Amino acid sequence: MVKLRNARMAATVASGPGSTVPPGDRACARGVGGPPRRPDPGASAPEEYRSGSDGHTREVSEQSAQPATPSAGPTGASDGGASTPVEDAIRARRTSLLVDSDEPVPPELVGRLLEAASWAPNHKRTWPWRFTVVTGDARARLGEAVADQAADAGMTEAKVTKLRSKYLRSATLVLVWQAVVADDEVRRREDRDAVAAAVQNLLLAATANDLGSYWATVADSLVPAVRAVADVDEHHDLVALVYLGWPTGSVPPPQRPAPNVTHLS
């Protein structure tokens, strides 16, 4: 018999008035109150979501104006074999901000996603991931804080203005942190790898529950403002800012090359 471990997960919730989900809210996912929402296949990605970083060191985006042909279809292995549900979720995941910015994601569903994230592989079992869930008015507070710091850092007025409303683009944000607990550089690298694996778990769980997601990061110069809003100290490194929401459209899969594999025997 396999004994399931208790997930060691630290999650803080930053939300504003009106952020709770009313009874009977139509936001739902598999196993959460009804059938999943379906994206509008005719919708396309707005141009602003294909553009530059705007204060982020990196915003991972797979959205493209040109359709692409994936190396393997969304439901089927490239070698013609049967595809498992896990493989289907991996191939179905998209980086997309085509989400409803107002319709809440139920807190219990967010909790399930974070619990799934905490099952990432982790050498030394240090459990380095920490999560801050940002909803409601806290999204605007985050934008104001980051924009103020950007202004102090001399960023352009256009970027500062955009940052003020940047985090209102989805109903839920998840800040994913690495808790830095040692000066050992090897352990620090391994812990960051573990947190990145936790982010992937989070994204795949979101996909399996018909949620849209987008993995973004924040420029190092602006992270202190994010820490201040999240009420965490300098021993927390920000690995990801994940947008979550109910899809309002879909994006085509990017064309991916076959994996470069060397076999030794």
The reported pLDDT for the residue numbered 80 is 67
**In angstroms, what CA-CA distances link 206 with 74, 202, 203, 255?**
16, 6, 5, 22
User: What structural domains does the chain harbor?
Assistant: 10-15+29-245 (3.40.109.10)
Do strands 212-216 and 129-135 pair parallel, antiparallel, or not at all (unpaired)?
unpaired
The reported pLDDT for the residue numbered 14 is 53
Q: What is the pLDDT of residues 246-260, one digit of tens each?
A: 999 999 998 999 999
Residues of the chain falling short of pLDDT 70 = 1-80
Query: CA 235, CA 75: separation in Å to the nearest integer?
Result: 42
Please give the biggest Cα pair distance in the chain: 61
Dump the DSSP string for 139-191: HHHHHHHHHHHHHHTT--HHHHHHHHHHTTSSSEEEEEEEE---S-HHHHHHH
CB–CB of 207/179 below 8 Å?
A: no
The reported pLDDT for the residue numbered 78 is 56
Query: CA 153, CA 140: separation in Å to the nearest integer?
Result: 20
pTM (two decimals): 0.74
Query: CA 229, CA 54: separation in Å to the nearest integer?
Result: 20
